[in-house]
Structure 1
Amino acid sequence: MERRPRARLELSDRAWQVLAQAGGNVAVLHRHLTAAGGQVPSLASLYRVVHRDLEAGRTLPDRAVVRRDREERHTRQAMADLALASPRQGDVAEAVLRLPRSSSTAASAVPVGESGAVAGVGLPAGAQLVRTPSVRAVAEPVGQAMAAEGAVCVFGDPGRGKTVAVRMALSVVPAVWKVTWVPVPVRPSVAGMRRAVFDALALPGRFPHTSALADAAVAGALGEARVLVIDEAQRLPVPCLEYLQSLCDHPGTRITLVLCGAGTERALARLPQLASRIAAWQEVPRLAAAQVAPVVTGFHPLWRTVPAEDLAWIDQSCAHGTFRTWAALTTHLQNALLTTADTSLDRALLARLCQRVAPPL
């Protein structure tokens, strides 16, 4: 008599994924199936099935590769959910303080000295960074570009807070991402730009004597998730932009390129190949008239003693929505109140300070 055929035990693709994540440990797979419920084969049967399929030619991916892919998926999902745009979600909510006097949602203050939030940014004594709508508008495309490992261009007139907005956006990135700021040399060449990237990455050893060795060292360091920020990118000529494009196009690099500076959009227009790779073009506008009062009062408590009509007059006659001008006025106002006795904070003092920060015609 012929032997009656028996049902063959087969493992699903999901079971093989669990086995690969466990590094081929069959006992971990057995515990996973037991926790999932249902009819579970014995541990000995699982060993026989895995051994049979491996001998038939099935292979398990390397455990490090599986772990890296899983971390990348989690990071991409977290970046897509967060988008670096909402300071009210998750752990970022702890970093946002309410304004002591104003309940307006147009701006929220970030405490000075917070990790990554004010690195490289000089503030007057007692001042706080303010998370304005423009800052949140910059943070969203930066987060989306990081999720897709793309490029983003942040542009706008000088003094609008482009660099500060990028720094505040990158202060809440996951720890698996490394942020590197590359200073752009004056009148840069390709060799100077290559050296600037090499030094910014803090690579060990001396700078290689050939460009091929330097490019290999830089590409090796950019093999992990990293944000490469090029501030004052409007200085870059076409050859330097082509060098940055080569870093993005290298098959072994995993970088998000952030190009920031006044006139960067015009510099990128000279190289359409790189401009076509920009995933988002984000302009930092001037402060709107309705945003001036909540922003400057959140920036420094000294402005809370100034009437709202005087704040509007300063913005209309002097600052014109430029945040850098407001920071300079804050410093001059502090010095005037500290150095001169019985100084009254009136329109005459404000007019004199506005003339001090206004450029001569």
Structure 2
Amino acid sequence: MAEAIGQAMAAEGAVCVFGDPGRGKTAAVRMALAEPPAGWKATWVPVPVRPSVAGMRRAVFEALGLPGRFPHTSALADAAVAEALGQARVLVLDEAQRLPGPCLEYVQSLWDHPGTRITLVLCGAGSERALARLPQLASRVGAWQEVPRLTGAQAATAVTGFHPLWGTVAAADLAWIDRSCAHGTFRTWAALTTHLQNALLTVADAAVDRALLRRLFQRIAPPQ
């Protein structure tokens, strides 16, 4: 992931990060952009549900943290956004699978503007299918990065990088957690992390052992 995004930044290109729900796409991109190179900034643009071009314009404006109220005309908003994007920036569109063709055209217009320096990262389950709605943008994606189900070894590496709590757990126990509960799904690991943190804070003398973890597994598993 870091390599794909790094190469895109060097070319001011685009990356599509896709894969089944719960695979940890967003977390993987966040880790890859945790320390962007000098001179670069990363901006996350949450894609609204049922987005319109006007909604995307506002989402980008607000994500950039631009001063003042949102402009009353699209021309003023576009000018303010283009000026802010004149500095090297990674623009991450999370839940990009929601983007219809007109919104993708708006995103491409930001990328194509002669005064902007943008690397695009379109992230989400089905984002590769969304890009099919705008072939002229899809054809310019430099890397299609699929995030598959994690193997046991990958899960251990991912979760210890995700939260230091897992760095205190033996490798054999991490493998057991993945086999017994998470099954290579990062979203399950993230939920388990939250429950484990709460248990350690609220239960006196709680220890990260298999008895505690089995109880937490029951909170994560859906009812039968």
Matched-pair contact (CA < 8 Å) for 1:154–1:281? yes
Q: Partner residue of 1:181?
A: 44
Supply the AA of the counterpart residue of 2:125: A
SS in 1 for 2:61: helix
Supply the AA of the counterpart residue of 2:3: E
Matched-pair contact (CA < 8 Å) for 2:18–2:128? yes
Matched-pair contact (CA < 8 Å) for 2:16–2:143? yes
Partners of 1:226 and 1:209 lie apart in 2 by 25
1:279-290 to 2 correspondence within 5 Å? Answer: 279-290=142-153
1:306 is displaced (CA, Å) by 5.8
Q: Partner residue of 2:3?
A: 140
After superposition, the C-alpha distances for 1:61-109 in whole angstroms (9 at most, x for unaligned) are: xxxxxxxxxxxxxxxxxxxxxxxxxxxxxxxxxxxxxxxxxxxxxxxxx
Supply the AA of the counterpart residue of 2:74: S
Partners of 1:215 and 1:316 lie apart in 2 by 49
2:140 aligned with 1:274, yes or no? Answer: no
Unaligned runs of 5+ in 2: none
Percent identity for Structure 1 against Structure 2:
78
1:151 is displaced (CA, Å) by 0.7
Unaligned runs of 5+ in 1: 1-137
Structure showing greater relative contact order (alpha-carbon pairs closer than 8 Å, 6 or more residues apart): 2
2:215 aligned with 1:339, yes or no? Answer: no
Supply the AA of the counterpart residue of 1:356: R
2:117 aligned with 1:254, yes or no? Answer: yes
Q: TM-score, normalised by structure 2?
A: 0.84
After superposition, the C-alpha distances for 1:27-77 in whole angstroms (9 at most, x for unaligned) are: xxxxxxxxxxxxxxxxxxxxxxxxxxxxxxxxxxxxxxxxxxxxxxxxxxx
Q: Partner residue of 1:103?
A: none
1:334 is displaced (CA, Å) by 4.5
Seen in structure 2, the aligned counterparts of structure 1 residues 302 and 238 have a Cα distance that, compared at 3 Å, is: closer
Say what the alpha-carbon RMSD is for the aligned residues. 2.7
Supply the AA of the counterpart residue of 1:339: V
In the alignment, which of 146, 149, 167 is matched to residue 30 of structure 2?
Answer: 167
Matched-pair contact (CA < 8 Å) for 2:22–2:186? yes
Larger Rg: 1
Q: Partner residue of 1:229?
A: 92
1:303 is displaced (CA, Å) by 7.2
SS in 2 for 1:228: strand
SS in 2 for 1:324: helix
Q: What count of residue pairs does the alignment treat as equivalent? A: 222
Matched-pair contact (CA < 8 Å) for 1:306–1:345? no
Partners of 2:102 and 2:11 lie apart in 1 by 25
Seen in structure 2, the aligned counterparts of structure 1 residues 339 and 219 have a Cα distance that, compared at 3 Å, is: same
